[in-house]
A and B are shown apart, each in its own frame.
Chain A
Amino acid sequence: MDIQNLLVISVGAILISNFVLSRFLGICPYIGVSRQMDSAVGMGLAVIFVMAIASAVTWVIYTYFLMPTHANILFILFGKEGQSPTDLTFLQTITFIFVIASLVQFVEMVIQKTSPGLHRSLGIYLPLITTNCAVLGVSFLNIDSGYNFMESLVNGMASGIGFTLALVLMAGLREKLETARVPKAMQGAPIAFVMAGLMALAFMGFSGLSLG
């Protein structure tokens, strides 16, 4: 396995094209859950977890159920001799969102059974993740980028880490902001957006990193 390649993907997803600050995915939780450090960390961990699993599962489903190849499981089971495999990739969106929604439910159930402590800290964030576009976004990106299974898994995890990094930084800033004198009209979301802009500006510096 090409470790260097995986490292390049990770650094790219965490710093250079950070999910929140340069790809604009997962903005709603970024603004909504960044008021306190505790909840930011909890949300971040839940997102890393779900994004990694979702990347792996959606990749397998796309490659072995939707793509018109001879390795397509539906083709192997139901295809007839001499027939060419059917292209089901147009069902991508609907399958992926369903997979992610069920996955989130499943993860919640498993965590609830196995580790009540973890469930108490992550539980409330899990349902929110279904409509977090970062999870669906990373699944699409893996496919569009032509990543293989390992690359998708690493990209999913690294993108989650990038999201968490941006979220935790923002939470830290907003906690400090409590004591600052912000003009009344700019309090809350507006000043958070402006800070996000400054952070995006800082993260743009990473695009100078040359990789590979």
Chain B
Amino acid sequence: MSVGKLFGKGIVSDNPVFRLLLGLCPVLATSTSVFNAIGMGVSVIFVLLCSNILVSSIRHFIPQKIRIPIYICIIATFVTIVDMVLAGFMPELHKSLGMFIKLIVVNCIILGRAEAFASRNNPFHAIIDALGMGIGFTLAMIAVATFREILGNGTWFGMPVLGTSFEPVLLMILSPGAFFTIGLITGFLNWLDHRKRIPHAVLNG
């Protein structure tokens, strides 16, 4: 597979959030503002990149039967590093993401990529895969957060966009808004797929 195709796979055709329905908890929980979404996205990219590189570099030395605990250990280490770095250098972001930074450990995207891709490919491809998947995840977060922040708060990235007469739809910031937004976006992407008559990916899960 060409490098470009590998990179694009995570962003479009195999988008972890909208297509594979992985890592939904942080998408729903921390997409209340675009700032938080980017913070979460970058944290996930960092962990994904580091774990993919490490898993792929030592893939020949990991005993098959205990590979999962080793992956979890590697991921947990990088997550803790992100947690400490954010606490020290970006306390505001650390506060607003809260527990969800630590919960990156159980984000299925990261363990999924370690198991399905990094353990079978060389570090260079693992880096491309991590970047594609990570950026795909971040873009999905930004998409959800854009809807929620504009409608729910009248701002985008903290900048007022809808004028002072706009009464924010509080529902969008609350939990129902998160579910509605992601449901409608996945539905819309399905609809685009059907129109293009592309045999559609795993979407019934």
Residues of A close to B182: CB separation below 8 A: 193
| Residue B124 is within 8 A (CB to CB) of chain A in the complex | no
Residues of A close to B171: CB separation below 8 A: 201
Interface contact A136-B72, CB-CB below 8 Å: no
| Residue A84 is within 8 A (CB to CB) of chain B in the complex | no
A93-B80, A186-B190 known; A98 vs B183 contact (CB < 8 Å): no
Q: Is the interface of A mostly helix, strand, loop or mixed?
A: helix
Give the interface size class of chain A: 35 or more
A residues engaging B (CB < 8 A)? 21-28, 31-32, 90-94, 97-98, 101, 130-133, 136-137, 140-141, 144, 183-194, 196-198, 200-201, 204
Q: State the CA gap A13–B180 with chains docked (Å).
A: 23
Q: State the CA gap A137–B102 with chains docked (Å).
A: 9
**CB-CB nearest in chain B for A27:** B24
Residues of A close to B111: CB separation below 8 A: 131
Interface contact B176-A137, CB-CB below 8 Å: no
Q: State the CA gap A154–B49 with chains docked (Å).
A: 38
| Residue B21 is within 8 A (CB to CB) of chain A in the complex | yes
Shortest Cβ distance from A140 into chain B, in angstroms? 5
A31-B24, A94-B77, A200-B175 known; A190 vs B183 contact (CB < 8 Å): yes
Q: Which of A93, A189, A191 contacts B21 (CB 8 A)?
A: A189
Residues of A close to B29: CB separation below 8 A: 23-25
Q: How many A-B residue pairs have CB under 8 A?
A: 133
- Most chain A beta carbons < 10 A, residue from B25, B186, B190, B204: B25
Q: State the CA gap A161–B188 with chains docked (Å).
A: 33
Shortest Cβ distance from A161 into chain B, in angstroms? 19
Interface contact A97-B25, CB-CB below 8 Å: no
| Residue B145 is within 8 A (CB to CB) of chain A in the complex | no
| Residue B3 is within 8 A (CB to CB) of chain A in the complex | no
Residues of B close to A28: CB separation below 8 A: 21-25, 108
Q: State the CA gap A28–B186 with chains docked (Å).
A: 15
Interface contact B179-A141, CB-CB below 8 Å: no
Residues of B close to A22: CB separation below 8 A: 175
Q: State the CA gap A28–B77 with chains docked (Å).
A: 23
A185-B190, A193-B182 known; A137 vs B76 contact (CB < 8 Å): no
Interface contact A185-B187, CB-CB below 8 Å: yes
Shortest Cβ distance from A207 into chain B, in angstroms? 10
Interface contact B28-A204, CB-CB below 8 Å: no
Q: Which of A144, A192, A198 contacts B176 (CB 8 A)?
A: A198
